[in-house]
Amino acid sequence: MKKNLTAWLCLLPALAFLLVFMVYPLVDVFVYSFEEGYNFASQSYFGVGLYNYDYVLHDPYFIQALKNTFIIVIITVPLSTGIALFISLELSNIKALRDFFQTVYFLPYVTNTLAVGLVFMILFKKTPYSDGLVNILIQLFGGKGVDFIDGPYWAKMFVMCFYTIWIVMPFKILILTSALASVNPMYYKAAKVDDTPPFRVFYKITLPMISPMVFYLVITGFIGAFKAYSDEVALFGTDLNAAGMNTIVGYVYDMLYGNSGGYPSYASAAALILFAIVFTITTINLMVSRKTVFYS
């Protein structure tokens, strides 16, 4: 009993912290989302019901944010994981300059989001003085320039996805190269003696061996992409609704603090909808993984 008490006493600070800053707000968000017209200042509301959800789901800005988020998720998660896997495989195949390339690929990870955003501006943004580096290149090859930052939706989405893939890749490459390095080389020797074609070696040996890490990257990739927000701000500024590039998290933020802000109830409802989506996707991921991921 006494031992138990000591244990609880040691756990107390962390528990208290979690309760106050994690559990209580979560419960609060849940409660807010069902309270109509909750007001911070007066702590009052009109009634209880599904009104907030109804409003959010019919808000064109939310629908736009939902669409953007899903496009970003569906495009960037598979692409970034696939490209990272390819680069990692090539990295583990080369001997010369390997450290150099590993450093190069890791650089975006240690670079500030806003600084990267600035670089992307130089690359893509049209200003009175320049069309942006990419446009200059397009024009050089006889194409017609496009405003990637303030132009058509697909151009903006292209830049957005490009940016997201580029920014999440270093971490994935880091994880995958170490996963590849941890595969015991004797399996490759055995495969070689048995005359296994390279694709089969990858598909039948390498991929199953690193599948836990790939799975981890897919799950965290999905969650991260669903929570996208700061990258959008870095590229398109704070008024994402006007740019048509808002995301769900951006919508939540706008509802709380943005120009049209001050609606904690709507924000809470949107946050819970995001939670439901992420929860569903992660559950599906876990179910799929049970059949495909191999843990030794």
Partner 1 sequence: MKIVLEHLTKRFPNRNKKIKDEVIAVSDFNFTIPDGKLVGLLGPSGCGKSTALNLICGLEKPTEGKIYFEDLDVTDLEPEKRGVGLVFQNYALYPHLTVRENIRFPLENLRGENKLTREVMEEKVLEAARLVQIDELLDRKPNEMSGGQQQRVAIARALVKMPKVLLLDEPLSNLDARLRLQTREEIKRIQTETGITTVFVTHDQEEAMSISDIIVVMKDGVLQQMGKPQEIYDEPINLFVAKFLGTPQINVFEGYIRDEKAYIGDAVVMDAKGAGDGDVYVAVRPEGFIVDENGPLACNFINREVMGRDTSVIASNEHFLGENIRAIIPSEEEVVPVEGCVRFSLKPHKVRLFDKIIEERIRTES
**Site membership for partner 1, residue 183 (CB under 8 A):** no
Binding part of the chain for partner 1, among 31-39, 40-48, 154-162, 205-213 by CB under 8 A, reads 205-213
**Site membership for partner 1, residue 190 (CB under 8 A):** yes
CB of 189 to partner 1, least distance (A): 6
Answer left, alpha or beta for residue 151, where phi above 0 means left and psi between -120 and 50 means alpha: beta
Binding part of the chain for partner 1, among 14-22, 141-149, 172-180, 202-210 by CB under 8 A, reads 202-210
Q: What whole-number distance in Å separates Cα of residue 62 and Cα of residue 246?
A: 8
Which two tokens mark 286?
């876990």
Q: What does the DSSP 8-state code read for residue 109?
A: G
Query: Using an 8 Å Cβ cutoff, are 265 and 36 in contact?
Result: yes
**Site membership for partner 1, residue 174 (CB under 8 A):** no
Which two tokens mark 39?
């007001």
Query: Which of 92/211 has CB closer to partner 1?
Result: 211
Counting residues that bind partner 1 (by CB under 8 A) gives 18
Query: Which of 212/244 has CB closer to partner 1?
Result: 212
Query: Which of 204/261 has CB closer to partner 1?
Result: 204
* One-letter amino acid for residue 292 of the chain: T
First to last CA, the chain: 38
Query: Using an 8 Å Cβ cutoff, are 160 and 234 in contact?
Result: no
Binding mask 1-20 for partner 1 (x = CB under 8 A): --------------------
**Site membership for partner 1, residue 287 (CB under 8 A):** no
Query: Using an 8 Å Cβ cutoff, are 264 and 276 in contact?
Result: no
**Site membership for partner 1, residue 82 (CB under 8 A):** no
**Site membership for partner 1, residue 200 (CB under 8 A):** yes
Hey, which bits of the chain come out as E strands? Answer: 35-36, 47-48
Transcribe 87-106 into DSSP letters: HHHHHHH--TTHHHHHHHHH
Can you tell me which of 15, 122, 192, 284 binds partner 1, judged by CB under 8 A? Answer: 192
Q: How far is CA 21 from CA 7, 14, 15, 27, 269, in A?
A: 22, 10, 10, 11, 19
**Site membership for partner 1, residue 195 (CB under 8 A):** yes
Q: What whole-number distance in Å separates Cα of residue 206 and Cα of residue 183?
A: 7
Binding part of the chain for partner 1, among 91-99, 142-150, 154-162, 198-206 by CB under 8 A, reads 198-206
**Site membership for partner 1, residue 212 (CB under 8 A):** no
**Site membership for partner 1, residue 99 (CB under 8 A):** no
**Site membership for partner 1, residue 209 (CB under 8 A):** yes
**Site membership for partner 1, residue 194 (CB under 8 A):** yes
- In 3D space, the residue among 160, 148, 293, 286 whose CA is nearest the CA of residue 223 turns out to be 286
Can you tell me which of 208, 237, 244, 262 binds partner 1, judged by CB under 8 A? Answer: 208
Residues that bind partner 1 (CB under 8 A): 184, 186-187, 189-190, 192-197, 200, 204-205, 208-209, 294, 296
